Amino acid sequence: MKTMAPSETEREDLPTGLFDRLTRTSEPALQDLREAAQLALQVEFTTIPVYLSALYSISDTGSHAYQTLRSVAMEEMFHVNQAANIIVALGALPKFTGDAVPTFPGYLPQANPNTTPMVGLFRASPDVFANVFAAIESPAQYGAPPQGDNYDSIAQLYGALVDAVDAYPGNPFSTVDVPGRQRTNIYLGKFGGNVNAVVDKKSFYAAVNEIVEQGEGTVPPEKPLVPVESFGTYNHYGKRTDGTYGPILGTPYELSHFLKFREVSLDSANFPATRPIISNPDSNDYTNQRAKRLSDSFDYRYSLMLRAFEAAFKDDSPDPYFNVVLSIMHRVLPHLARALMSTPAFADGDSSVGPNAAPAWRYTSDTRLPFEELTQALEGELDQLSTSPRDDALRTHLKAAVAGDKEILTAAKALGL
């Protein structure tokens, strides 16, 4: 006879860990599946500020290290969007604000601190690629069991989520009468991966499989690791046989994130120059007031982007994805980050020597300045710059941020964000 799922009262006696509850019950509760999918989203999202901080610290945007890291960061956005679609299909809304926002330094949410790396906001280097980035994406050993709470690898976390969905009686997914909308129209440029709608267990398994293989790769029994996966774009970008970087026509394969990072870390002789930024920055430590102000400016726009991203999955609201989320991500935050990285953290510092400031990626919920004031504040920073050549980089990035800022903040205001 089939065991009935425990009542809510009975569930209080079960272990408090989310995946403990999922594995100790014969029929997982739908709410627990939603929480598990939200955890997966937060794990994926935690990597993005980590990768982008290192990305913006690289001076040569044409370098192999830069282009590799950029491709991974964009594909992590694909992973986040796919995880969000799973949450919507489970009848909930993905959360990007409040306690869902990662803080640094720390570990991936609910990861095993003894077997997973400390993640933080670091200047790019071969060591960071090897000991942080590749460690984040490290594949599970063949036959490693699924792990939810206190997991040793991201692949094992997804394995636990798959097991929980497997155990759910019937189909927990739906696109009817759910409070959100799934997104399959996101833009990833030249990078691989397709975001698919989740409507049943089969489409859920396909979505998870693509996330795991694109990130960590797979470890089959007959060999240590599958080095390439068959989801790359036709116009694959990479290092060509003549040593240059660019499009390689007719290459339908790409390395997993783990192997991409490992490849860069092993080529330390060709690693590009980086900006001299502080690791795990805290603007409270800065004595340069401009650095403090620019740090706050970055946080305001990052917070706006997160609120807009959350709203982009709500079916009953205007869609801010293209004119707010993507625009802030591509047109404002990169320039504000590089402006910070061109600003000494301490009074009377030298930006060519450092230490320079860097984004802290903090979520701000209690302060919403009028949009006009946000842009005017950046314009004021421009007006205060000296004519010295040492401010040229800062001036260039502030001008670009202001140019993108006006249109984006106007659109956000119209959408009520």
d(Cα 11, Cα 15) in Å, to the nearest integer? 9
Which pLDDT belongs to residue 391?
Answer: 86
Tell me whether residue 131 is in a domain. Answer: yes
Residues forming a β-bridge with 246: 238
Tell me whether residue 11 is in a domain. Answer: no
The candidate with the shortest Cα–Cα distance to 107, out of 116, 98, 99, is 116
d(Cα 176, Cα 152) in Å, to the nearest integer? 36
For range 9-25, the mean pLDDT: 56
Q: Give the CA-trace dihedral at 62, 342, 98, 44, to 10 degrees.
A: 20
Tell me whether residue 17 is in a domain. Answer: no
Tell me whether residue 64 is in a domain. Answer: yes
Could you tell me if 55 and 130 lie in one domain?
Answer: yes
DSSP state of 182: -
Six-digit token string for 410: 């106007």
Could you tell me if 107 and 128 lie in one domain?
Answer: yes
Residues forming a β-bridge with 344: 356
d(Cα 299, Cα 155) in Å, to the nearest integer? 31
For range 283-299, the mean pLDDT: 95
- Could you identify the residue written with the tokens 């970055």? 298
Longest dimension (CA), the chain: 81
d(Cα 319, Cα 311) in Å, to the nearest integer? 7
Of the candidates 270, 294, 313, which is a domain's last residue? 270
Does residue 261 contact residue 133 with C-beta atoms inside 8 Å? Answer: yes
Q: Which string of DSSP letters, residue by residue, matches 205-256?
A: HHHHHHHHHHHT----TTSS---EETT--SEEEEE-TTS-EEEEET---EE-
Six-digit token string for 65: 């290290």
Tell me whether residue 325 is in a domain. Answer: yes
Could you tell me if 202 and 313 lie in one domain?
Answer: no
Which pLDDT belongs to residue 318?
Answer: 81
Which pLDDT belongs to residue 105?
Answer: 97
Does residue 404 contact residue 327 with C-beta atoms inside 8 Å? Answer: yes
Which pLDDT belongs to residue 188?
Answer: 58
Does residue 187 contact residue 326 with C-beta atoms inside 8 Å? Answer: yes
196: left (phi over 0), alpha (psi -120 to 50) or beta: beta
Lowest mean pLDDT among 108-117, 159-168, 377-386: 377-386
Six-digit token string for 56: 């913006």
Tell me whether residue 73 is in a domain. Answer: yes
400 has a pLDDT exceeding 60: yes
Does residue 89 contact residue 174 with C-beta atoms inside 8 Å? Answer: yes
Of the candidates 220, 236, 270, which is a domain's last residue? 270
For the chain, the domain total comes to 2
Of the candidates 209, 242, 270, which is a domain's last residue? 270
DSSP state of 389: G
The candidate with the shortest Cα–Cα distance to 87, out of 32, 24, 137, is 32
1 CB contacts (<8 Å, ≥6 apart)? none
pLDDT one-digit tens code per residue, 54-89? 999 999 999 999 999 999 998 899 899 999 999 999
pLDDT one-digit tens code per residue, 156-165? 999 999 999 9
Could you tell me if 80 and 198 lie in one domain?
Answer: yes
Could you tell me if 215 and 108 lie in one domain?
Answer: yes
pLDDT category, 409, cuts 50, 70, 90?
confident
DSSP-derived pairing of the beta strands 254-255 and 245-249: unpaired
Does residue 85 contact residue 198 with C-beta atoms inside 8 Å? Answer: yes
The candidate with the shortest Cα–Cα distance to 176, out of 291, 302, 89, is 89
Tell me whether residue 277 is in a domain. Answer: no
Could you tell me if 311 and 236 lie in one domain?
Answer: no
Six-digit token string for 81: 């969007």
d(Cα 415, Cα 317) in Å, to the nearest integer? 8
What's the N-to-C CA distance of the chain in angstroms? 52
Tell me whether residue 199 is in a domain. Answer: yes
Does residue 162 contact residue 33 with C-beta atoms inside 8 Å? Answer: no
Write out the E strands in 25-179: none
Could you tell me if 330 and 397 lie in one domain?
Answer: yes
The candidate with the shortest Cα–Cα distance to 204, out of 155, 165, 164, is 165
pLDDT category, 372, cuts 50, 70, 90?
confident
| Residue 361, phi then psi, degrees to nearest 5 | 55, 55
pLDDT one-digit tens code per residue, 311-349? 999 987 788 998 899 899 999 999 999 999 999 999 999
Where does 58-190 have alpha helices with state H?
64-89, 126-128, 134-136, 154-167
5, burial (CB in 10 Å: exposed 0-12, middle 13-18, buried 19+): middle
Q: What is the CATH number of the domain that holds 197?
A: 1.20.1260.10
Could you tell me if 265 and 202 lie in one domain?
Answer: yes
99 has a pLDDT exceeding 70: yes
Could you tell me if 99 and 248 lie in one domain?
Answer: yes
Which pLDDT belongs to residue 12?
Answer: 39
Residues of the domain holding 316: 283-414
Could you tell me if 226 and 307 lie in one domain?
Answer: no
The candidate with the shortest Cα–Cα distance to 251, out of 264, 266, 265, 239, is 239
Lowest mean pLDDT among 6-10, 193-197, 297-301, 409-413: 6-10
Which three-class secondary structure state does DSSP give residue 136? helix
pLDDT category, 302, cuts 50, 70, 90?
very high
